[in-house]
Amino acid sequence: MSYKTENDFDQLSTEIDKVITRIQKHTKSKFQPVQDIIDTTIQNNGKLLRPRLLMMSAMFGNYESERMVNLASAIELLHMATLVHDDIVDDATLRRNMPSVQSQFGKDMAVYTGDYLLSKALTVFKPSDYQDDQILSLSKVISRICESELLQYFNRYHFMSVRHYLRVVSGKTAALFSLSMYLGAIESGCSESLSKTLGKIGYEIGIAFQIIDDILDFKQEETIMGKTVQNDVKKGYYTLPVIYAFEGETLQLDQLTTSEILEKIVERKGLEKSRILAQKYTEKAFKRINLLPDNPSKDTILEVAARLLRRSY
């Protein structure tokens, strides 16, 4: 099925509903305690950005619903698994302002939950249905995500350069955004050139998206993402505003109070510099989107990108 008119995009929400149904089907367990944990994980999930990006990219080609729903479900299950594991490492009590799996059921159960979701992602993906190159792409992204998490963990309490920070973010966040858009396009029969362009758009959206999240975490009130500045700093995770504010210094942040850290970030324009970098990647993404071939999906990608990258930060 190919999407040709604006009205056809009403079906995107239907396709997302299919993804949710597919995830629920493949994660169904006959053991109620396991099902309770999985249900909590699904409820804590976000707006399925990666499946949406995958499907919008696929609409540049010959969109096959069953194939794309399977692919999008696998991508989202992989994302869910990384979030569960991430909350364990961060000792996060909240995920999108709801109790995280590890805080509600314990770290051991959370580890198994993350592993379970990862195994289900591979089951839904059905490697036999896809080209070897696409299977390899998925494997490489899983490796990049894990490598970036390890890199971030081993650099706790040490200041990274901005370049080093971008390397971590490109693996933790941007790689899966990029893969989603690339796979959606290539699997719908788009040219390699167009598929790579969409993959680059996903990468740039992912980088800007993460920087904006880092900035939003420094709001004075309870943070939008359900995390606190104190938690990141206490555990030695220094995000971009901190890196910009204390770049080149050897001072240990545990010698400062949270208020002092915030004051120095504002004083040294850590937030302002972060906004400039976010805007740089935002402009790159919009420039590429505007150069895409005329297609109803192009306008939808522009709309989604604007919603993600022009949040109040």
Considering only 38-47, 139-148, 206-215, 229-238, which range has the smallest mean pLDDT?
229-238
Would you say residue 282 has pLDDT above 50? yes
Comparing C-alpha atoms, which of 280, 143, 157, 135 is closest to residue 211?
280
Structure tokens at 81: 């698994």
| Residue pointed to by tokens 């971009």 | 240
Structure tokens at 99: 């109790």
pLDDT band at 35 (very low <50, low <70, confident <90, very high): confident
| Residue pointed to by tokens 């004051």 | 263
Comparing C-alpha atoms, which of 41, 57, 38 is closest to residue 49?
57
- By the 8 A CB rule, do 238 and 232 touch? yes
Structure tokens at 88: 């364990």
One CATH from 1.20.58.220, 3.40.50.2300, 3.30.1160.10, 1.10.600.10 for 6-309: 1.10.600.10
Structure tokens at 227: 């995390």
- The beta strand positions in the chain, using DSSP E, are 94-95, 98-99
Residue 95 pairs in a beta bridge with 98
Would you say residue 94 has pLDDT above 80? no
Report the pLDDT value the prediction gives residue 232, as an integer from 0 to 100.
74
Q: Which residues contact 4 (CB under 8 A, 6 or more apart)?
A: 296
pLDDT band at 129 (very low <50, low <70, confident <90, very high): low
Phi/psi of residue 17, nearest 5 degrees: -60, -40
Would you say residue 128 has pLDDT above 80? no
Specify the 3-state DSSP secondary structure of 277. helix
Amino acid at 233: V
Question: What mean pLDDT is reported for the chain?
Answer: 84
Would you say residue 130 has pLDDT above 70? no
Measure the CA–CA gap between 226 and 96, rounded to whole angstroms: 5
Report the pLDDT value the prediction gives residue 259, as an integer from 0 to 100.
76
Phi/psi of residue 312, nearest 5 degrees: -75, 100
Phi/psi of residue 294, nearest 5 degrees: -60, 125
pLDDT digits (tens, 9 = 90+) for 170-181: 998 999 999 999
Segment 214-236 shows an average pLDDT of 63
User: Counting beta carbons within 10 angstroms of the beta carbon of residue 37, is it exposed (0 to 12), middle (13 to 18) or buried (19 or more)?
Assistant: buried
Residue 48 belongs to what H/E stretch? none
- Between 178 and 217, the more confident residue is 178
Segment 233-252 shows an average pLDDT of 80
Would you say residue 103 has pLDDT above 60? yes
Model pTM score: 0.88
Report the pLDDT value the prediction gives residue 198, as an integer from 0 to 100.
98
Would you say residue 279 has pLDDT above 70? yes
Amino acid at 109: M
pLDDT band at 10 (very low <50, low <70, confident <90, very high): low
Report the pLDDT value the prediction gives residue 33, as an integer from 0 to 100.
82
Specify the 3-state DSSP secondary structure of 94. strand
Amino acid at 170: S
pLDDT band at 187 (very low <50, low <70, confident <90, very high): very high
Structure tokens at 168: 């971590």
Segment 95-108 shows an average pLDDT of 84
Report the pLDDT value the prediction gives residue 1, as an integer from 0 to 100.
37
Would you say residue 230 has pLDDT above 80? no
Would you say residue 222 has pLDDT above 90? no
Phi/psi of residue 250, nearest 5 degrees: -105, 0
Phi/psi of residue 99, nearest 5 degrees: -55, 130
Amino acid at 131: Q
